[in-house]
Amino acid sequence: GQNIDQPTEMTATEGAIVQINCTYQTSGFNGLFWYQQHAGEAPTFLSYNVLDGLEEKGRFSSFLSRSKGYSYLLLKELQMKDSASYLCAGTNDYKLSFGAGTTVTVRA
């Protein structure tokens, strides 16, 4: 199985940067996903890391260190619409195991 830990809540100001950390303990780990979920909606894909290092995609970047069992999601130039839950998920060959999610609140 997989044990995924991430902070419960984070608050930041519009235009700022927020980093959401995720640690994992896994068996058969293949890669690390980040999903965004707005209240009452389905999770939507943000990023996937299988190799160590930083993957940048617009305002969002994700980092993975396999040796440390650690990932983070970096949200830059925060906008009000970024207020959501951010889910870290480890994957084996076919199954995603999710953390509890980090609720990010962006304030004006």
Partner 1 sequence: DTGVSQDPRHKITKRGQNVTFRCDPISEHNRLYWYRQTLGQGPEFLTYFQNEAQLEKSRLLSDRFSAERPKGSFSTLEIQRTEQGDSAMYLCASSLTGATNEKLFFGSGTQLSVL
**Residue from 29, 60, 70, 98 binding partner 1 (CB under 8 A):** 98
**Residue from 5, 95, 105, 107 binding partner 1 (CB under 8 A):** 95
**Residue from 16, 54, 80, 100 binding partner 1 (CB under 8 A):** 100
- Under the binding rule (CB under 8 A), the answer on residue 108 touching partner 1 is no
Could you give the CA distance from residue 20 to residue 22 in angstroms, rounded to a whole number? 7
DSSP state of 66: T
Residues between 29 and 88 with contacts to partner 1, criterion CB under 8 A? 31, 33, 41-45, 48, 50, 87
- Under the binding rule (CB under 8 A), the answer on residue 10 touching partner 1 is no
Task: Name every residue whose Cβ is closer than 8 Å to that of residue 19 and which is 6 or more positions away in sequence.
Answer: 72, 73, 74, 75
Q: Are 103 and 7 in contact (CB under 8 A)?
A: no
